[in-house]
Amino acid sequence: MSTLAEYVRSNGGRFENELFEFLRIPSISTLPDHRADMLRAAEFVSGKLAAAGLENVEVIENAAGRPLVYGDWLHARGKPTVLFYGHYDVQPVDPLELWESPPFEPTVRNGSVYARGAADDKGQFYAHVKAVEALRAMHGELPVNVKFLIEGEEEVGGEAIEAYLAANGEKLQADVALVSDTAMYAPGIPTICTALRGMVYMEWQARGAARDLHSGLYGGVAPNPLFGLIEVLAQCKDAEGRVLIPGFYDDVEAPSAKEKASWAGLPFDEAAYLRDEVGSTALTGEPGFSVFERIGARPTFEVHGLPGGFTGPGAKTVIPATAAAKVSTRLVPHQDPVKILAGIEAFVSARAPQGVAIEIREIHSAPASLADPDHPAIAKAAQALGGVWGRETVYVRSGGSIPIVGEFQKRLGIPTILMGFGLPDDGLHSPNEKFSLENFHKGILATARFLELLQA
């Protein structure tokens, strides 16, 4: 281990520079005009997989222009196989004016690199690539078999990887998947995440009059689709945050007593969390549930934006002909996205006000996932993390969604280890996203150590 640690130390500057080069590619998957950047990012990844000594490296194109990248090394006869997953696509950057340095010019401040995608997920999965490079450089071979499958559609719930998994079950067969796309519980506390929430992301599209109308000449008789959406959305939750859609909570299970006990043992200062991390005047959510439960074990209903009407500076007195709402629910284990979407559709269609038609377009859906912390590979991952950070690994749930974890379970029948190197304040999806460079280097070491432990 000491020679590997030396290799990582002596090559650390180069590893960082490679990561910065990767972060300069604005691979925003949801914006169609970044198509060329998606291809550049995929080529970057395939180049680095090959340079790390992986074989059979390929860029798997698709019609959406967001290719998958695959590579493997399968010469550890009789040893387990690890399927590494990561994503090279990133979220949009708006509001751009809130970034302290440009989102695609990686800038180091206080030991972290600031850039869109730094923690989510370029910096995290790049640590896996460098772990493979380091092990190969040290030993000429790897302790176990590895397969890398990196996608470019995680932020848009794209279907390329789903289709690829469905069609290539044998090629992708492995004993366990490893994903670093989550956060450590707190700086210095090595963490494995045992559950992720699923989601249904929708656009509710509303139509009123045939054309935009003047709110003076028609106000009082013309239906307002924006207000129609407001009326229906407001009925979806009560003032305390309970979702009012019939059947929404039917399949929700309470976390185990063991899980609740372990959460209660984590260091947590709710007042500091409110003040320093959320920064509002109050936390919200369902009464009777702890913060851990509200984030990890309860589903949500959220509105992300309402396109339509007039949103510029000043005043425009328009009753818009159309309006939309970006709406999502986060789901917990055992909730079925198909059933939840159907329940929402029935609820909305029964409540659309007179003169306003509301159609729901599903943008993407995925179920939640739940892992068994007693699984042997998860125990070894915890041991590897604990060794590098010098502290016992904790188990938490994440409120986020990584749809692929459910797919690995469903298509390949394998569990996923969620070994996060991010930090809670990394600002995923927000301005000034960052990633700790110390965690980048420790992540490389922990990944390599995990593969060594898995060999035994």
350: helix, strand or coil: helix
* Closest to 132 measured CA to CA, from 53, 210, 187: 53
Instruction: Please report, as residue ranges, which positions from 34 to 73 form the binding site for a copy of itself (by CB under 8 A).
Output: none
Contacting residue, 169, 187, 188, 305, with a copy of itself by CB under 8 A: 305
Does residue number 222 form part of the binding site for a copy of itself (CB under 8 A)?
yes
Smaller CB distance to a copy of itself: residue 43 or 286?
286
The Cα–Cα gap between 151 and 123 comes to 14
Contacting residue, 11, 62, 168, 215, with a copy of itself by CB under 8 A: 215
Nearest distance in Å: CB 421, a copy of itself: 15
Question: What would the x/- binding string for a copy of itself be over residues 384 to 413, using CB under 8 A?
Answer: --------------xxxx------------
CA 446, 161, 45, 93 dihedral sign is: negative
The Cα–Cα gap between 247 and 243 comes to 10
Nearest distance in Å: CB 393, a copy of itself: 20
Please answer whether residues 416 and 369 qualify as being in contact, where contact means their C-beta atoms are separated by less than 8 angstroms: yes
Instruction: Please report, as residue ranges, which positions from 271 to 290 form the binding site for a copy of itself (by CB under 8 A).
Output: 278-286
Q: What is the H or E stretch that residue 338 is in?
A: helix 337-351
Nearest distance in Å: CB 396, a copy of itself: 11
* Pairing verdict, β 416-419 and 191-196: antiparallel
Please answer whether residues 301 and 347 qualify as being in contact, where contact means their C-beta atoms are separated by less than 8 angstroms: no
* Closest to 417 measured CA to CA, from 454, 452, 382, 365: 382
Instruction: Please report, as residue ranges, which positions from 79 to 108 form the binding site for a copy of itself (by CB under 8 A).
Output: 91-92, 94-95, 98
Does residue number 319 form part of the binding site for a copy of itself (CB under 8 A)?
yes
Does residue number 452 form part of the binding site for a copy of itself (CB under 8 A)?
no
Tokens (6 digits) for 404: 């692929």
* Closest to 427 measured CA to CA, from 123, 142, 156: 123
Nearest distance in Å: CB 100, a copy of itself: 12
Instruction: Please report, as residue ranges, which positions from 173 to 212 form the binding site for a copy of itself (by CB under 8 A).
Output: 183, 197, 199, 201, 207-212
Does residue number 233 form part of the binding site for a copy of itself (CB under 8 A)?
yes
Does residue number 244 form part of the binding site for a copy of itself (CB under 8 A)?
no
